[in-house]
Amino acid sequence: MSPTENKYMKTIGTIEDAPTCARLWKHFYPRSTVFDLWEVREIFARHFGRRHCFVVHYTDEKDNVSPGENGVRLKIKDSDINAIDGVLPLSWIEEKKEFAFFPGETWKDRTWLEQNKIIAPNKEVMTRLIHGIPGAAELRYLCPPPWETGDKIGQNGTNAPVTGSMGEMHIDEVGYLFHPANHGIKEEQYPAYLLGFAGKSRKKILAEIHAIEKKGVKFRYNVLEDIELLFQFNQDNFKENGYFHDPRFLNAFRELAQMLHQKKMLRVVTVLVDNKTAAVDMAAVWNHTCFFLAGGTSRTVPGIAKLINLHHIQWACSHTHHLGDMPLEEIHSLDFLCGDFGWKERFHLSPRPLYKIIVPEKGHGYAPLS
């Protein structure tokens, strides 16, 4: 093939310098969820200190890189960004000798940040990005590709892969959302939501909550210092199995709370029972969605998790509760994320599957990072 024919070769490369990776993220990611925000990702990247490896699909107009030479390490100038049409942001997990989705905030073989997105205009580019990963990888909590819909991505509970060959994408975990608009209109939404429960179930839940309310229940909102109580509850309940057992994650989360507070995005809900703190939830409000990022409950108050979760749902339906200094924003949905502790399906939340891709060590790429 002549140089002229090679001039506009589509190829794959990796970018490892942090400033360029930051520019790529800010340029390509849509900022539709709180997890898309560079400010959020950067905090965890800094505290975990993983090595960046962003796989990019681009049009080579200078070096005439052939398909057999895919995997070159690139230096991208700002003027070159328009040549890129696919991005798969990775971090190298040294202790596992494999890649994870950026920023690689792993604990007990799991990451925490979710709704991860592979930027690709079509299945072909996405497949090439996956094949361009320079080693083994475990990519978790992925959003389905926009060109896959319906049963093809397991919306009816199936676990069929959504891409071919090495990039098969299977259901990882299921996130859960609450949409107030699905339950009547305006002030009637919350009563309509409660009527969606079977009579015996509704009676049992409300009786449990009323028993707590008899002890005296108070709420306070957006007290930043209550985040420390959340951490303590969480560590008491999960001990070494919880993310907050890792000081890197704990310190990143503290900084995340500060950042969200400064940007007027933080929502903290604290429940006091008999004048003692019984539960604390931390959320971020972004793009008309309230994302519940973490929570902690006292083991001395059985049923307190049901009370605070119903409180969130009632708030989303009515906006009758004080929001502190956070600007009032119309809430279209509550996102309770992944991790089902048994209550999310029972509370009639809407499931949203997320996906994972496992890439074994393979010989078609260049050697893993050393």
The dihedral formed by the CA atoms of 319, 323, 326 and 332, expressed in degrees to the nearest 10: -20
Per residue in 57-98, pLDDT (tens digit) is: 988 765 433 333 444 556 666 557 888 999 999 999 999 999
Q: Residues 199, 204, 205, 209: is their CA dihedral positive or negative?
A: positive
Per residue in 89-125, pLDDT (tens digit) is: 999 999 999 999 999 999 888 899 999 999 999 999 9
pLDDT exceeds cutoff 70 at 366: no
pLDDT at residue 329 in the model: 62
Q: What is the largest CA-CA distance in the chain?
A: 82
List Cβ neighbours of 138 (8 Å cut-off, separation of 6 or more): 96, 98, 99, 100, 109, 356, 357, 358, 359
Q: Are 273 and 216 in contact (CB under 8 A)?
A: yes
Strands 169-178 and 98-101: what pairing?
Answer: unpaired
Query: Where is pLDDT greater, at 198 or 369?
Result: 198
Distance CA 92, CA 135 (A): 10
Position 320 confidence tier, pLDDT thresholds 50, 70, 90? very low
What's phi and psi for 32, nearest 5 deg?
A: -85, -30
State percent of the chain over pLDDT 70.
80
Angle between helices 247-262 and 38-48 (to 10 degrees): 150
Per residue in 22-55, pLDDT (tens digit) is: 999 999 999 999 999 999 999 999 999 999 999 9
pLDDT exceeds cutoff 70 at 157: no
What's phi and psi for 300, nearest 5 deg?
A: -85, -5
Cβ atoms within 10 Å, residue 78: 9
Which of 31, 346, 320 is closest to 201 using CA atoms? 346
pLDDT at residue 221 in the model: 94
Position 361 confidence tier, pLDDT thresholds 50, 70, 90? confident
Which of 113, 64, 109, 58 is closest to 85 using CA atoms? 58
Strands 266-273 and 217-221: what pairing?
Answer: antiparallel
User: What single DSSP character describes residue 228?
Assistant: H
Q: Are 163 and 123 in contact (CB under 8 A)?
A: yes
Which of 317, 282, 281, 285 is closest to 297 using CA atoms? 281
| Over residues 127-152, mean pLDDT | 83
Distance CA 57, CA 120 (A): 9
Distance CA 356, CA 271 (A): 36
Which of 350, 266, 258, 267 is closest to 315 using CA atoms? 267
Q: Average model confidence (pLDDT) for the chain?
A: 84
- What are the CA-CA distances from residue 340 to residues 206, 214, 336, 355 (Å)? 21, 28, 9, 16
Q: Which of 56-60, 151-155, 253-257, 354-358 holds the top average pLDDT?
A: 253-257
Position 188 confidence tier, pLDDT thresholds 50, 70, 90? confident
pLDDT at residue 340 in the model: 73
pLDDT at residue 155 in the model: 37
Q: Are 359 and 133 in contact (CB under 8 A)?
A: yes
pLDDT at residue 169 in the model: 79
Residue with tokens 């309230």: 290
Q: Which two tokens stand for residue 181?
A: 């608009």
